[in-house]
Amino acid sequence: MITRIKVCGLRHEQDIALCVEEGVNALGFVVEYPVPTPWDLTRERAAALMRVVPPFVSRVAVVGGDADSIMAICAVTRPDSVQLHYDESEETVAELKARLADTGITIIRALRIPIAGSRTAAAGDESLPRWEAVARRFRDAGADAILLDSRTDDSPAATGKPFDWRIAERVSAAVSPVILAGGLKPENVGGAIAAVRPHAVDVLTAMEDAQHRKLRDRVRAFVHAVRETDTV
């Protein structure tokens, strides 16, 4: 199986070109997210950047909020996929599925899983069936894919930290397709793929410098690690 690779948090044309040149399959653009993040873009800026992305590389709008605001962002940016990454309900997913039906835009629903030590983290194996059930409900509501990401008490967006991959294994075995995120980097993505067997992997913080610019050597190393695992 060929694991697809998404790099998120694109803000510059040069970083788009870098990722494409290194073989990244999908690019994520954070658009008018409900809480502050270093990667946030206006819908107009995101649309301009997405127009730079060449054919056969997927454009993903990473958003949050109600159905009307998300539809307005999609109308301007025209992404290939919209990633719901905040606290959208099953009803919101179902409404978006109906309203996007004629656009070809697919829906990714992110589940943000608290890491160990967080106030809301579930203990041990008790969390496994609960997260599987949540993923099933969102797929049934109309999500085309489930993305599993990590969450800390003080960061509802990107954390750079992994969650318990046993949860991802359980969800991936029950629901397809699954996209794995949360603390991935060149040094651990091979083990993550071997354990979870996701459809795709999603990375952000491990690809950047302090100014949130993408680093070619890190992107190249990440892509190489994924492709090396795919051949095993």
> In angstroms, rounded to a whole number, what is the distance separating the alpha carbons of residues 39 and 203?
13
> In angstroms, rounded to a whole number, what is the distance separating the alpha carbons of residues 204 and 212?
9
pLDDT of residue 13: 98
Give domain limits for the chain: 4-230
Which token pair is 140? 């049934």
Q: Nearest CA to 192 among 29, 71, 183?
A: 183
Task: Show pLDDT as tens, one digit a residue, over the chain (232 residues).
Answer: 899 999 999 999 999 999 999 999 999 999 999 999 999 999 999 999 999 999 999 999 999 999 999 999 999 999 999 999 999 999 999 999 999 999 999 999 999 998 865 444 554 566 789 999 999 999 999 999 999 999 876 665 666 789 999 999 999 999 999 999 999 999 999 999 999 999 999 999 999 999 999 999 999 999 999 999 998 6
CATH of domain 4-230: 3.20.20.70
Which token pair is 219? 């992107």
Q: Identify the H or E element spanning 109.
A: strand 106-114
